[in-house]
Every structure is written in C-alpha cells, then in structure tokens.
C-alpha cells in the first residue's frame, strides 16, 4: 500500500441511533483482513479511573453530561488517531456524532449548561482542525425510533434501563437533520443510507449491497 494510505486510511464511520444495529454491522466487517474495526470505546466510558461515567450520566444527566461527553470526545479522538496497517478503518460513531448528535441533544434539553457546551465546542473545533479526524464515508444505519427502542429494551443494557422512548425519538430526528436533511451542521463526508430496520436474518444482503463502497473497492466516486 502507498505511504499515503498508511497516514490516512480510507476512514468510514458507521452512525445511527442507539439500538440501530451498529455492533451487528461491525461484526459483519470484522472478517475482512483489509479492514481495521473500532467499536465504540464503551468500556472506557464505563471505567474512567474507576468511575462508570455512562451510568453517572444516565442517572444524573444535569450533573454529569459535560463530564461524560468530555471524556467521549477524548476517547473518540484517540480512535481517530490510531494508526493501522490496513487500508480501511471502520469506526463505530465518530467525534462528529459526539458533537453534532449527543452534545447537541444534551444542550437542547438543558442538561449541559451553555458555558459547558461552549468549552466542549472549543475543544471540538480545535481538535478537528489540528488533528486528522477526517471521514471519507459515513454509513447511516437508518431505523425508525420504534425499532431502535424495541432493540434497546431487548438488549437490556443496565445503564439504558431508564432511557425513555422520547429520547430515542429526538436522537432519531437529530440524526435525520444531520445525515439526511443536512440542515444540522455541515456533513463531513458522503453518506450512504442503509435500511437498518431490516431484521438480522436479511440485513446481510443490505450490507453486501454497499460493500464495494465501504471497502473502497470502486475507485470511481460514489454514484449519486
């Protein structure tokens, strides 16, 4: 592979609501040796120097949203910066969904005070301008909020037990604004949209449809 590939591999972020099937998607691509897969560093969020920041955030969002999202931004930066040998890097979410979806939501809900949002945003602006966090492709696992919520209940992650449907519905709308309507902030890369409502039994075909794009096999630009 050329030197340039080693500096900046073809970087794909899979984005989507909570419960949109990102882990299933990542597992499908784990089998390709040309792809380095980076799941969300949720275990770091559950144990930052012994503190489960994810649990603290859900239990007392007003008090811990800034703390949690500040750490999320750091851990996502580290994922963007990780050097790999493979030509393709596939990440679960990105520093962009951290800022544009989750910080956005907490700001709108008044769970993160404006001064805290300002500090997170200053860091976000500095980091995305001074580091190579560029994405070459976003894969949007698009679900209905109902399907996403159903999966959250089935998965039954302990920290998510108190998450109300309204939160998932609002996060869905924010993802739609960002990735479909493109009215929320600028979108940093071409977006391919998958129908992630499909059941696990048939969704592999949906993945296969886009494998050439995700594995960067077509050198031609994305067809509209």
State the nearest-atom distance from the C-beta of 98 to ligand 8LK, in Å: 3
**76 interacts with ligand 8LK by CB under 6 A:** yes
**128 interacts with ligand 8LK by CB under 6 A:** no
State the nearest-atom distance from the C-beta of 103 to ligand 8LK, in Å: 8
Catalytic: which of 5, 15, 43, 92?
Answer: 92
Length of the chain: 224
For ligand 8LK, give the closer residue by CB, 40 or 179. 40
State the nearest-atom distance from the C-beta of 196 to ligand 8LK, in Å: 15
CB 28 within 8 Å of CB 14: no
DSSP codes of every residue in 8-28? S-EEEEEEE-TTSSHHHHHHH
- The single residue listed with the structure tokens 């800022």 is 99
Distance CA 214, CA 211 (A): 5
State the nearest-atom distance from the C-beta of 144 to ligand 8LK, in Å: 18
- CA nearest neighbour of 69 among 141, 119, 110: 119
Known active-site residue 159: no
Work out the end-to-end distance of the chain between its first and last CA atoms, rounded to an integer number of angstroms: 28
**40 interacts with ligand 8LK by CB under 6 A:** yes
Residue 214 burial (10 A CB sphere; 0-12, 13-18, 19+):
buried
Sign for the pseudo-dihedral over CA of 107, 110, 111, 114: positive
CA distances from residue 213 to 40, 137, 205 in whole angstroms, order as listed: 22, 8, 14
- Name the CA radius of gyration of the chain, rounded: 17
For ligand 8LK, give the closer residue by CB, 9 or 61. 61
Report 84-123 residues binding ligand 8LK (CB under 6 A). 93, 97-98, 102
**177 interacts with ligand 8LK by CB under 6 A:** no
**55 interacts with ligand 8LK by CB under 6 A:** no
For ligand 8LK, give the closer residue by CB, 93 or 175. 93
**26 interacts with ligand 8LK by CB under 6 A:** no
For ligand 8LK, give the closer residue by CB, 11 or 40. 40
**150 interacts with ligand 8LK by CB under 6 A:** no
- The single residue listed with the structure tokens 């499909």 is 198
Which residues are marked as active site? 92
Residues that bind ligand 8LK (CB under 6 A): 18, 40, 42, 54, 72, 76, 93, 97-98, 102, 160
């Amino acid at each position: 592979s050329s030197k340039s590939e080693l500096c900046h591999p073809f970087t794909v972020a899979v984005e989507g609501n909570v419960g949109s099937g990102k882990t299933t998607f990542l597992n499908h691509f784990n089998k390709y040796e040309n792809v380095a897969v980076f799941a969300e560093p949720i275990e770091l969020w559950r144990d930052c120097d012994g503190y489960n920041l994810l649990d603290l955030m859900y239990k007392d969002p007003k008090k811990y949203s800034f703390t949690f999202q500040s750490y999320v931004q750091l851990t996502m930066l580290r994922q963007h910066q990780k050097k790999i040998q493979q030509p393709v890097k596939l990440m679960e979410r990105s520093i962009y969904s951290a800022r544009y979806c989750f910080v956005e939501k907490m700001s709108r809900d008044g769970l993160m005070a404006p001064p805290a949002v300002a500090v997170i945003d200053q860091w976000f602006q500095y980091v995305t301008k001074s580091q190579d966090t560029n994405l070459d492709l976003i894969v949007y696992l698009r679900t209905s909020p109902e399907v996403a919520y159903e999966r959250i209940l089935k998965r039954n992650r302990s920290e998510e037990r108190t998450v109300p449907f309204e939160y998932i519905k609002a996060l869905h709308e924010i993802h739609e604004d960002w990735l479909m309507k493109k009215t929320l902030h600028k979108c940093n890369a071409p977006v391919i949209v998958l129908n992630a409502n499909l059941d696990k039994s048939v969704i592999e075909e949906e993945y296969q449809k886009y494998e050439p794009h995700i594995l960067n096999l077509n050198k031609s630009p994305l067809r509209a």
